[in-house]
Structure formats: structure tokens, C-alpha cells
Chain A
Amino acid sequence: MIELENITKVYRAGRMEVSALRGISCRIEDGEMVSLMGPSGSGKSTLMNIIGCLDKPTLGKYLFDGVEVSKLSDNKLAEIRNRKIGFVFQSFNLLPRATALANVELPLIYGGSGSHRQRALQALESVGLAHRAKHKPSELAGGEQQRVAIARALINNPSLILADEPTGNLDTQTSRGIMLLFKQLNQQGMTIVLVTHESDIAAYTRRTMKIRDGQIEALE
């Protein structure tokens, strides 16, 4: 599914060059659930952006679903993000004035297939929120908002779900619900990469990748 080979990312800030990633190589197989851990500044956000096709590596090779994506154009990357990757963010990133249903539909309009009420409703149902379809984000609890975001990530039936601190804004009880939902999706065959700095969240995954100073410190 994901093959990283010697991925390097260098940022330029004026004359200074900062290496965020220094030669990362690893494989994540189809149907795996992996957590990505590391302190802030370790480069885990940069790595996540590259895996999510939001950013391109300076050096190295990235095969996603058998396709070399590190040299693709912005438009091609946008297509891959749309069709094959579902994003879940710490702060949910829902459109505040749109209903849950409209939020879930959002990726569909950029996929060229047009909007499909039915598909969006099914996605909401799969996260247990069909009855809240007409509510706006402000009328939903934090956990419910994150479920809407997960439904949005699922709508295009992606190959990978990339979750960046998905429980960072939630209490323990709600967090457990969300993690169980991820676990359930993984059992249905979905590949999931989770970025977190909490070890009890990482404990839900079979494998943990620890990053420090732009390098893989440990693969468990």
C-alpha cells in the first residue's frame, strides 16, 4: 500500500536549511493499522503530509498503491487525495454553516461524480449518525462532529484513512468510541494511519512507528 524509500524533506528558511525528514524508509501493507508517534518537531506532521499527498518529498521515492506519487503534478495529487485518501483532523474541520450531510458530501463534488444524497446518508449511517444528518456542526457534540468527519473520509471508499490526532480534542470516553470505530473499520479491511502522541491511543494499533529528529527511531 505505502512504500517509502529514503524520503528526505528539506525546508528553506532564508539561508538556513532545515531537514524535517532525513531518509525515512518503511512499508505499510494493505489492511494494516499503524500509529505514527513522536514529539513535536520530530517531523511526524511532515511525514503525514507526504503520505497524505499534500506535500512532496525533496528526495526519495514514494509508492502509493503502486503509483510513484513524488513526481506528480498538483492536480494529479488532488485527484489521488480525492479518490484514495480520507483525512480526519484533530479539529474536525467541518464547514460550520453546512449540515452534516452536506459536509459528508463535500469530497463527492470534487470527484466529478456530482452529489449523491444516498451515498452520503449511507456513510453517515456507517458511523451511527444518520439521525443527525440535518444538523449543523455547532448542534453536534465533539464526538459526533468527529464521526461526521470520519463519514466524510469514508465517502469515496478510499484505500487509506489518515487521521491526525483524531482524539486530541475529545475526552477519554468519547475518544474510546472513536478508536473503536477506527478499529471496526480496520477489521472491515481499511488501511489506517494514525498520528498521535498518546501511547494509550497508539495501543489500539498493531504497529507503532516512532519518529525523532526526522528519522525512524523504532518500529514495533
Chain B
Amino acid sequence: MKLWDCFATALQTIFSHKLRSGLTMLGILIGVAAVISMVSLVRSEQAMVRESLESLGANLIFVTPGTPGAGGGIGGALASTSTLTLEDAEAIASDARSVSMVAPITQSTTEVVAGGENVGCLTLGVTVEYQYVRNFETEQGNFISGQDYMRSARVVVLGNELAETLFGQMSPLGQRLRINGRQFEVIGVLKSKGEAFGTEDQAAMIPLSTAQAVLSSERAGGSGHVIQAIAIQAKSRDAIGSAQWEINDILRRRHHIGPEGEDDFRVISMGDIARTADQMYAIGELIMAAIAGISLLVGGIGIMNIMLVSVTQRTREIGLRKAVGAKRRDILTQFLIEAAVLSLCGGAVGVALGWVIIKISAGVLASMGFPFPAILPGDVVALAVGVAICVGLTSGLYPAIRAARLDPIESLRHE
């Protein structure tokens, strides 16, 4: 018997029992649709988070005060008493070879008054490098310049939301406002960085020198001018690791920490954060795949169940086929192909359904204000359909063997 005839026979049977075939496919269909849509949604979210991290700044490394065990992230560490100084930042800038740019930061909670508005916000003291390290763009005006820093100018750049809170629809450029009672002139407004990391949207930035002169309660101590953080750009993605080592080395030396001593600072790269996020998403993906895998298994059991019933129902047909010359192999092939075609069709429709689910979810999320990329994961599609066919063949095997072993004489007598 030719393979094509096997296929034709199997297809004929499938098409002539549409309801039964549809029900048989259903389990596999739902399983495949579940795998694909779940994995796709997890991956889309992962891509979004990765993009947000990327937008924080390319090859960004943060140094904050505090021990590695203590503190909750960047923000938490910033608040505690700082061990970092401006001189630390200068040492890193001159000695660390894998570093391309260093931006020291001071930070204080301030009261900002403009017109009738009175807002509490973070004010960061920054240098001109901060714009490039953090990858900021201005929506209006300019960022703090080197000259502003040299002159300790009373100028301020506002985060997007802060500008809107203070000035509404009015253009803030050239406007005057008061920070902790001192008058500043607005020279720029930053572009928003989006939902995920919006802290700068509500912050004000002034020259570091001005901040130290005007805002800082701590004066230069024995070790130098205190700052709250250092943002550093590594020369390239590959240089992030060595830059971290160099920074670590320089700071330990400057802070007189012996070989046994614990760091009094933390060095975090965006890569570390991205990796942690990636790990989380990999676990999420695995769990989704496992759940979907179980539904594929249930689908397989469904196929076996219905095929066993079908063998019993079609005993006479099998007897007749054998009487007119079908060999065991022919019957076996016919039933296996039926199972494979059923699961393949179920898989194909499942892919289509998965795609529809992805599209709809992306649409719903977009309408709620989360622009969500709809990704059809090719590797998962291939894997899911492959697994579906294997499940189909495996669960079709036992019924097919039963059918092939039927005795033609008995089968022809079967009622």
C-alpha cells in the first residue's frame, strides 16, 4: 500500500466523521494554543522590561553606599548615610580603564515652589556627564552644561511630570522657582522615560556644585565631599564585568578596606538587574510550559480514548479491509496516520487560536495603556506542534496495534 493512499484513507475517515474528529482534536488544540499564548505573553513582558532597563542607560553601572546585604535597591541605599565622595568618583574616572564616563550624584528631598504650586520632590545634583550616562533627552531647553557646573549656576532641569505639575500647560523655560527657598531658573525639561522607571519624571536636577553649596547639610568631611551615588558608563557591554572589578578595587583601596573587610558600597550593573529579571521570566516560562504540557498530555489521552472506541466501532470495517487484502502493516499505518493527522490539525488550529489570543491580549493591554508587543514565538510553535504530533502518534499506537491484530474472520462477524 502506498503512503499516499494511507493518507487519503486516513483523511477520508477524518472528514467523514467530522464531529468525532473535532472532539478528538480539541484537547491537543487547547494545549497548543495554551503553550503558545502563555509563552508569548511572558516573553513580550520580558522584552518590555528589557527595553525599559536598556532605556535607563547603555552599559550603566550604579555605585551606591551600603553593604551588599543591606538596603533595598538603589533608592533605599541612597537615603542612608553616604560613604561615597566626589573624590571617589574622580578616582574612578581617572583610574578605571574600562569606564568611559562617570557621573557623581547628590540627592536631597526638597520643597519646590513655583507660582501657587508647592511640591515636595527629589532634587539631584548632577554634572554634565549624567545626561549621557543615563541617556536623557530634553523635551525643551538644555541639560546642565559644564559652564553651569563651573559657575555653580542657579539653574534647574525638570522632570517631565514635575514640569507639568508646577507649570501646567505653560512653557516652564525661563520661569523662576524656589527650591528650599533659593531661587532657580528653569533651563530645560526632560523627555519622559515611560512607565516602568519614572522616578526622574518627578525629580529636579541642578548642577552638583550648586547642590553642594546650597542644599547639602553635610560639609566636606575628612575624606572629601559626600555624594549619594555614582552613575558610571562602561566602555562597552563586554567591559561591564571588568569595570565592576576595577571600581570595586579602587573603592576598597580608597576606603581602606582590608582583604577580610566587607564593602561599604554596592556596585550594581543594569546587566545584573536584567539577568535577575531574565531568570525570573525563564522560571515563569517554564511553569507556563509545564501547565500547557499537562494539557497536551490530557489531549493525548483524549486521542487514545476516542481511537480505542473508534477501533471497536470500526471492527467490521477493519475485517473487510483485511479480507480484501489489507495487511497488518496497512491497518497499523492507517490508524497511526489518522492519529498523527488529527493531532497535526489540532496543533495547526491551536497555533491559529494561540495567535488570536495573543493579538486580543495585546489589543486589550494596549487599550489599557500598556503598549504590548504581539510576538509569535517560532521556536515554541515548532516545539508545540512537534510535541503534539508525538503525543498523537504515541497515543494512537496502542489503538492502532489493537486494530492491526484483529482477526479478519472474527471482525467480519462483529455486530
Contacts and interface: CB of A to CB of B under 8 A. Distances in A.
Q: Do they bind each other?
A: yes
Nearest to A52: B323
Interface in A50-98: 52, 54-55, 74-75, 78-79, 81-83, 87, 89, 93, 95, 97-98
A214 interface: no
B310 interface: no
Contacts of B412: 89, 93
A124 interface: no
A131 B18 CA distance: 28
A95 B334 CA distance: 15
A97 B324 contact: no
B323 A54 contact: yes
A190 to B, nearest CB: 17
Contact of B5 (A75, A89, A115, A152): A115
Interface in B126-185: none
Contacts of B325: 78-79, 81-83, 107, 110-111
Interface in B316-330: 316-317, 319-330
A144 B373 CA distance: 62
A74 B325 CA distance: 10
B12 A106 contact: no
Interface residues of A, number: 27
Contact of A110 (B8, B16, B326): B326
Max chain A Cβ within 10 angstroms of own Cβ: one of B4, B5, B17: B5
Interface size for chain B: under 10, 10 to 19, 20 to 34, or 35 or more residues? 20 to 34
A210 B48 CA distance: 87
A74 B328 contact: yes
A54 B409 contact: yes
B213 interface: no
Contacts of B399: none
A111 B409 CA distance: 20
Interface in B85-130: none
A126 interface: no
Contacts of A115: 5, 8
Given A87-B323, A110-B326, 15 more contacts: A55-B409, A78-B327, A79-B327, A81-B324, A89-B412, A93-B320, A97-B13, A102-B12, A106-B320, A109-B5, A109-B8, A110-B325, A114-B2, A114-B4, A114-B5
Interface of A: 49, 52, 54-55, 74-75, 78-79, 81-83, 87, 89, 93, 95, 97-98, 102, 106-107, 109-112, 114-115, 152
15 contacts: A49-B409, A78-B322, A78-B325, A79-B327, A81-B323, A83-B325, A87-B323, A95-B317, A106-B321, A107-B324, A109-B8, A109-B9, A110-B325, A110-B326, A114-B4
